[in-house]
Every structure is written in structure tokens, then in C-alpha cells.
Structure 1
Amino acid sequence: MNTRRLRLLSANIQAGSSTRRYSDYATRSWSHVLPAGNKRGSLDTIAQLAGEHDIVGLNESDPGSLRSGFTNQTHYLAQRAGFEYWSHQPNRRVGSVASSANGLLSKLEPREVVDHPLPGRISGRGVLIAHYGDDDDGLTVAVAHLSLGATSRASQLAFIAELLHDHPHAVLMGDFNCSADRPEMQALFRNTRLQPPSSALPTFPSWRPQRAIDHILLGDGLGFAGARAVPAALSDHLALSLELDVPHSALRSE
């Protein structure tokens, strides 16, 4: 075979916090700033799920603030789930007690990992990009967490489109905070070789999924082999698990 099948996971882990209903955002708001609750148990559950995959993109992974007990959650998940390679991109800080990051876990060795700040009305968003293989057609995996506002999302997606433009083996995954039929998403599809999802998989809220706002988008040089939405412990988002076929040439290292 000229392709290799890989399993990818995209998960907004809400820093290991628990949200089971809308009222929890108010009644359990303390869990987003204090190192209380069973965050370590949630991370262990997420690690079990992550370990079934080859490459994992994380959103809202605490890089080591008060609320996580100063644990770098991306590093913790890499160790618990058996990933040799990991990287993270701290972006949003909430006062002095909480911080958030994009994270990458990989069982394949990336050639390089780079991060870029994203534009937006409020600073603090970013995209983390891992490159595999030795040439410009190698597999490229980007992890992003986009803004709530449509105007900021549009500028962020335009920026990402420049980075991934004309790349047949690109993957863009994360929490987009919007569905794939939004105008800013259509602009992304027009300006890259990324393809719209074959079907909408609702991921939010996790206890009654109604909105498809988490996505794993594939370039047209990659083969889609199925996707499903799965619980990410007690996060308010479901995770997305996807299988894809990657040409061996896009992974080859000399």
C-alpha cells in the first residue's frame, strides 16, 4: 500500500474541569480558577482516549497555573498516554490563576513544530503547527482554538489560510466556535485545499450535542476513513476522532 492509516483526535479538554449542564458554568465556576475537583481523574480518562490515537490536538489544556495545581496538562497527558513527542502553545491567561494552551501529542516524530499568534480583537489566540516529512508536500497538522466573534474568526481563518494555502496534505483541527457553513469557513475552503466535513458531527454541549463547532479538516491529498464524536471525560465539548490515509511520501524522512 502507498498510504498509512493514522488516527487523529481533537479535544477541547476544558482544563480537566467538569460541566454537565449549563448551570454548572455558574455553580461550578470555581473549578475554572481553583485546583479543586477531580481534574487529575479527568486527565487520566482523557489519556486513555488519547492513547488510542497517533496524533492528538488539544484545546484549553492548562500549561501550569493555579487551577491545574501547576501541572502542565499537555505534558501530563503525553506521559500517561505514551506519546514520545509533545508540544504546547500557551495563549490565553485569566488573571494570575488560570491559563490555557493549544497542545499537540504525537507518536510520530515531527520535523518541526512552530506556533503563530492569531489576529483578533482580543489577543491571546494562536495556531500550533507540526510538520512531518522532509519536503513541502509533507503532512502538516495545525491545531487552533478560534474566537467567539465572527469578525475575529474571519481574520484568524484568513491568516491560517495563508499558512496552509495550496497544501494537499494539511490537517486543521480544533475548536472553531462555529459550524462549517459559516461565511468565514467558506472563505477558508476557497483559499486552501482543505475540504468541508463530509457530515456535521455535533460536539457542543457535550451533554446534549446540538452544535458542530469542533472540526478536523483534511486537505484533498488525504483519504478520509471515518469520524465519530466521543466524550472527553467531563468536558463541555465532545472530542472528534478521525481516521485518515496519508501517502507514505508525506511522512517519509531521509
Structure 2
Amino acid sequence: MQTGPHALDATRDTAGSTLRLLSYNIQLGIAYTRYHHYLTRSWRHVLPFHGRQGNLDSIARFIDDFDIVALQEADAGSMRSDYVNQVEYLAHSAGFDNWYIQTNRDLGNIAKHSLGLLSRPRPSEVAGYRLPGRIPGRGVMLARYACGDSSLLVGIAHLSLGIRARRLQLAYLARQVSLHEHVILMGDFNCRIDSGEFQALLNDTHLCSPERELNTFPSWLPKRGLDHILVTPELVIEHTHVYALAYSDHLPIALEIRLPEQLTLDVGSPRRSFEMVARHV
């Protein structure tokens, strides 16, 4: 797992205040706006192309206003991304001093399928784990933030397309997060809230989802809620939002949560409010 430097110049105390969370499947910086792009632009998953960098720059400008960002389908630096570590690039471009990348499927120079964490508060510990499944290549990244006498666990995952593998993976995640009081779990789950495997996760943990499903896929005509941010009850959900952006085949999903008084985090200098981000995208 690669990490970035850990220096913050300006901080704001978030004890008892809000934290802005974002989960985004960036699809390697490839924009899809029609179903036929899965055919006509499929080559962009294996070869570099001119427009990818500009798309990443657009994503970087957008994520600048969040405190913790979970990235899925990022490349760690292979031929298809012009050997650019996309997580590192987005972190530097958006001003995140703390970044972490976990490569779950390493195909050498061809492709490096990865998860990414961008964080303004510095985690005290970050670890990566393989998720169960018949086909290897899925993982979860767990970051722990020491908050005074308490702690906050943040998990990032990208689950399998097959229901059998997803059941195993969600059961594994349930075992991991059930040991902690304050938890945020986010990522591309590849299933909806009303699916059996998703409901099993909620039943086996204290995690809560937003009251209504937020559709994130496909980005040009969102009909399915595949991307989720779940939190434990003490982390009060203030706002939820899905942003209509044409930078991927998924839409980014955001949550603003209010932290309990016992959780103290230091993040970067104040940025636009959650509502202002929604109006200026």
C-alpha cells in the first residue's frame, strides 16, 4: 500500500461538527454518457487516451470540497493510465496531504486495479485486506482515526458483480466493522439497498443507510443505487446528495454527517459548504 505525506498546515477542529464524505467510482477517468460507450470506448480500459487527464482534472476540482474521499476503479500507474498513479494525482491536485492506495489486481504494466483514500484528517492506521470470492481481485481498505479516547473506522470497498461472492464479501465486512462503535463504510457495492445481501449486512451490524435509495448508475440515466455510504447511529446524517457529473459511468455520492462530541478530528482549512458544492457543480 502506497501513502502520501502527512503534513497539514491549517486545521479545523471537527469535534461535534460536520464531516463531508464522498464515494466515487471514477472508472479510470473514463467518461461514459451512453450505453454504446461500453463497446466503442472499451479500448480505453487497456490503452491510454488523450482525454483522460482532463477528466481527472475535472474530478480533482470537484472533490476539493470534501474531507474524506473513497475512490474505486483507480489505476496505480500502468500503461493505460500513462503510468500515472491516479490516486496520488487526484490527492495532489485537490490538496489532500494524506492519501493511500491499495492495488487489488496487479496486471503489471497492463493494469493496476486499485482503491484509493484521500483524507484531510490523518488516519492513525490504514490496512488493506483481500475480500473472499472465486475470482481474486477484490479488497477493502480500513482506516482508523484516533479521536481522543475514542476512534472512527472508515472502510472502502468495491464488491463483486456476482451475488454469491458479494454475500461472502458483505459477511466479511460485517465481521470487520461489528467490532467498532463508530464506523463509516462506503464504496461501490454493486447491489441495491433492497437486495438480500445488503439487508443481511444491515441486520448483522449497527450500520444505517439513508432513508431513501440514491440512484448512481448509469451516470447518464441513473436507475440503480449501487454506490453507498453507511454509518453507525451516533454519526448523524445531515445531508445526502448525488452529483450529476459526466466523468464516469457512476455518479458520486456524498454524505455530510455530524460527529458526536467525543470524536475530535483535525481537517484542512474550511471550504465551501455542502450546499454550495451542490449548487456549483
Q: TM-score, normalised by structure 2?
A: 0.86
Output one character per residue of 1:76-105: Cα deviation in whole Å (capped at 9) or x when no partner: 000000001000111124575122111000
Residue identity matched to 2:136: S
**Counterpart check, 1:111 vs 2:124:** yes
Q: Superposition pairs for residues 78-117 of structure 1, below 5 Å?
A: 78-93=91-106, 96-117=109-130
- Which residue, 115, 121, 125 being the options, matches 2:134? 121
**Selected match of 2:185 from 158, 164, 172:** 172
Q: In the alignment, does 2:108 pair up with 1:77?
A: no
Residues 1:160 and 2:168 aligned together? no
CA distance in 2, matches of 1:2, 1:144: 26
User: How far apart, CA to CA, are the structure 2 residues paired with 1:94 and 1:206?
Assistant: 27
Matched, 1:188 2:198: no
How far apart in 1 are the matches of 2:207 and 2:179? 9
> Which deviates further from its counterpart, 13-22 or 132-141?
132-141
CA-CA distance at 1:167 after TM superposition: 2.7
Partner residue, 2:145: 132
CA contact (8 A) 1:90 1:100 kept: yes
* Correspondence 1:7 to 2:20: yes
Residue correspondence of structure 1 range 19-34 to structure 2 within 5 A: 19-34=32-47
Cα displacement (A) at 1:134: 5.0
> Aligned-residue CA RMSD in angstroms?
1.8
Q: What residue number does 1:203 align with?
A: 216
Distance change (3 Å), C-alpha of 1:160 and 1:136? farther
Residues 15 and 47 of structure 1: is their aligned pair in 2 closer, same or farther, counting only changes over 3 Å? same
Unaligned segments of structure 1, at least 5 residues: none
CA contact (8 A) 1:51 1:81 kept: yes
The match for 2:276 is none
Runs of 4+ off more than 3 Å: 93-96, 134-137
Q: Percentage identity across aligned positions?
A: 47
Residue 10 of structure 2: aligned partner: none
Map of 2:9 onto structure 1: none
Name the SS of the counterpart of 2:252 in structure 1.
strand
TM-score by length of 1: 0.95
Q: What is residue 156 of structure 2 aligned with on the other side?
A: 143
Partner amino acid, structure 1, of 2:167: A
Q: Which has the higher contact order (CA 8 A, sep 6+)?
A: 2
The alignment covers a number of residue pairs equal to 253
**Contact 2:32-2:246 within 8 A present in 1 as well:** no
Q: Which segments of 5 or more consecutive residues in structure 2 lack a partner in the other structure?
A: 1-13, 267-281
